[in-house]
Amino acid sequence: MTELIQQIVDGLGRGGIYALIALGIAVIFGVMHLVNFAHGELITVSAYSAYGLFQAGWDWWLIAPAVILIAGMTSVVIEFLAFRWVRGAPDFTMLMTSFGIHFVVQALFVMYVSANFRQFPRPDWIFNTVKIAGISFEVFDVAVIFFTLLTLIATFWILQKTMFGISLRAAAEDFDAARLMGVRSDRIIRGAFALSGLLAGVAAVFWLMRSGQAGPTAGLTPMLKGVLAALIGGLGSLGGAVLGGVTLGLVEVMLISRLPEGLVGLTDGIVFLLIAFLFVFRPQGFISVRRAERV
Amino acid sequence: MLEVESLTTRYGSISALRDVGLSVGAGEVVCLIGPNGAGKTTLLSTISGLLNPVSGSIRLENEEITSWSPDRILRSGLALVPEHRRIFGDLTVDENLLVGGVTVASARRLELKEEVISLFPVLGEKLATEAGYLSGGEAQQLAIGRALMSEPKILLMDEPALGLAPVLAEVVFELIDQLRQNGQTLLVVEQNARRILEVADRGYVMRSGNIVISGDSDELISRDDLFETYIGKTDSNHD
Ligand SMILES: Nc1ncnc2c1ncn2[C@@H]1O[C@H](COP(=O)(O)OP(=O)(O)OP(=O)(O)O)[C@@H](O)[C@H]1O
Ligand SMILES: [Mg+2]
């Protein structure tokens, strides 16, 4: 029982990070119909920023908020430099653009920084444990769950209660109808990229605290997990993205702790099989999205 | 208020509007009638900025608004209740109304919401309901209420009675009459020609991308040939 609770907390910690990444991907998919494969680059940029700031002598307490801001700004800049030009283009064109950005950013880091991974120190507290109700948990998992919840609450508050959030959800459902109401497409798209970037930034902080390294492909795995989580949840559904992330995290932890020693390496493969299985029965993911056809 | 001159709009190589001209004066209720595929929706979409014309001009209060973006045109005072309503089904009734008022200051937005609710009491009872669950009549009221939230100087409506049972369609016509008494300028597309001509000051008849006839409502109503030749006999209720 104790072990199961520990595993659930572990899974929620993992899943929380996936959820933040997936939510950012879902926000962009909602307004642009774009599966943003360049989303991982935000984490790559965050990783190098963290590395650079360490070199400059900063501490994690300052690096964390800085990384979140940098990720948010990078996201807006990528929209401005790349996606703005293919707005309204066929979905496939935008998909190719996102792959393009993914490879360009990777190449830039290889050329101008290094092809090798750079190490930086992890916070010294992340492997500490705390005892709650007689069960010991990793401080890190508890912190991730706490801050993820906080971030999700803030995000859903923005989406539900502010005019920006309501307009964004309206635009996600029917962009032209929203424009007919006076919603400015520029602002909504830029806002969506900023929000998605900030979410990726929060996820990046935790991802990097655990990995402690920056490399040109640092964002690849988190991006793939985020896309998977968004797909499981039902692409475009914001609640679904969170649900998908948490589910993915829990399933991974359950598999890792149950598979025999020699088979742990197959976790990702088994996860893929499970997902393929899910899509046979529910191709639209957990939550299906109602959407007007774009004209 | 609104002047459209020799407007031509194409879908690819097909001209859906050819040299269309039309005008609506302040306080006027003007209707646009014509058979399916005549280009009525295309005309309203072009005026409200969803489609770009290949030539021609659109002026709103003497300002050239041709090829402006829809949100900019809305800010200048022209709103559209689009064909098939296009309310936001995932948003609540309340949120739909708020999006309708996204361009007005927040205090004014709440006042306007109260005004819309007093015009459509049903919406007041269902503020927290997801709009996707509204009945056809309620959804239509929401679509019109949402458009009124921007305090438009001129309101365009594309077949507001489409798909409604006769009783509910009648409610829409009465509402149009009420808006007109409030001094709202309106341009209404409607297939029930006889009924809308009873409410409108003037009318235009469209066919195959052209305006073929225009005139005062009284005059158009009395022309039986008009219904036979241009509109067919489908001027009763349709769906
Ligand atoms: N997106 C589009 N692409 C290509 N052709 C279109 C498109 N939309 C409309 N058309 C064509 O343009 C013409 C005018 O269509 P429009 O929808 O404006 O007519 P309408 O008068 O509104 O008809 P209805 O009464 O059926 O609503 C039709 O021949 C239609 O087939
Ligand atoms: Mg039409």
On whether residue B36 sits in a domain, the answer given is yes
User: Are residues B120 and B73 located together in one domain of the fold?
Assistant: no
Task: Yes or no: say if B191 and B230 are a contact pair by the CB < 8 Å rule.
Answer: no
User: Are residues B50 and B114 located together in one domain of the fold?
Assistant: no
Whole-angstrom distance, CA of residue A72 vs CA of residue A191: 10
Q: Whose CA is nearest to atom 3 of ligand 1?
A: B11
Domain boundary among B102, B124, B151: B151
Which structural domain, as residue segments, surrounds residue B209? 1-77+166-227
> Is B55 in CB contact (< 8 Å) with chain A?
no
**What's the one-letter identity of residue B166?**
P
Question: Of A154, A185, A290, A168, whose CA–CA distance to B99 is shortest?
Answer: A168
On whether residue B238 sits in a domain, the answer given is no
User: Are residues B6 and B46 located together in one domain of the fold?
Assistant: yes
Per-residue pLDDT of chain B (239 residues; tens, 9 = 90+): 999 998 999 998 888 899 999 999 999 999 999 888 899 999 999 999 999 999 999 999 999 999 899 999 999 999 999 999 999 999 999 999 999 999 999 999 999 999 999 999 999 999 999 999 999 889 999 999 999 999 999 999 999 988 888 888 888 899 999 999 999 999 999 988 888 888 899 999 998 888 988 888 888 888 877 776 666 554 444 44
Which of B74, B90, B102 lies at the smallest CB-CB distance from A290?
A: B90
Q: How far is the CA of B41 from the centre of ligand 2 (A)?
A: 4
User: Are residues B139 and B175 located together in one domain of the fold?
Assistant: no
Domain boundary among B151, B184, B207: B151
**Which atom of ligand 1 lies at the shortest distance from residue B14's CA?**
5
For chain A, residues with pLDDT lower than 50 are 292-295
> Is A115 in CB contact (< 8 Å) with chain B?
no
User: Are residues B6 and B122 located together in one domain of the fold?
Assistant: no
The model's pTM: 0.89
Q: Which residues form ligand 1's pocket by a CB distance below 6 Å? A: B 11, 14, 16, 34, 36-42
Whole-angstrom distance, CA of residue A181 vs CA of residue A217: 42
* Cβ separation A174–B86 shorter than 8 A: yes
Which domains does chain A possess? 2-281 (1.10.3470)
On whether residue B232 sits in a domain, the answer given is no
H helix or E strand, kind and range, residue A278: helix A267-281
CA distances from A122 to A85, A145, A209, A218 (A): 39, 18, 5, 15
Domain boundary among B127, B151, B175: B151
User: Are residues B174 and B210 located together in one domain of the fold?
Assistant: yes
Total domains in the fold of chain B? 2
DSSP state of B92: B
Which of B69, B106, B147 lies at the smallest CB-CB distance from A179?
A: B69
Whole-angstrom distance, CA of residue B156 vs CA of residue B171: 18
- Residue B52 belongs to domain with CATH number: 3.40.50.300
User: Are residues B73 and B2 located together in one domain of the fold?
Assistant: yes
**Which atom of ligand 1 lies at the shortest distance from residue B39's CA?**
18
User: Are residues B196 and B218 located together in one domain of the fold?
Assistant: yes
Question: Of A46, A65, A75, A28, whose CA–CA distance to A222 is shortest?
Answer: A46
What ipTM, to 2 d.p.? 0.89
Question: Of B4, B115, B1, B8, whose CA–CA distance to B51 is shortest?
Answer: B8
> Is A108 in CB contact (< 8 Å) with chain B?
no
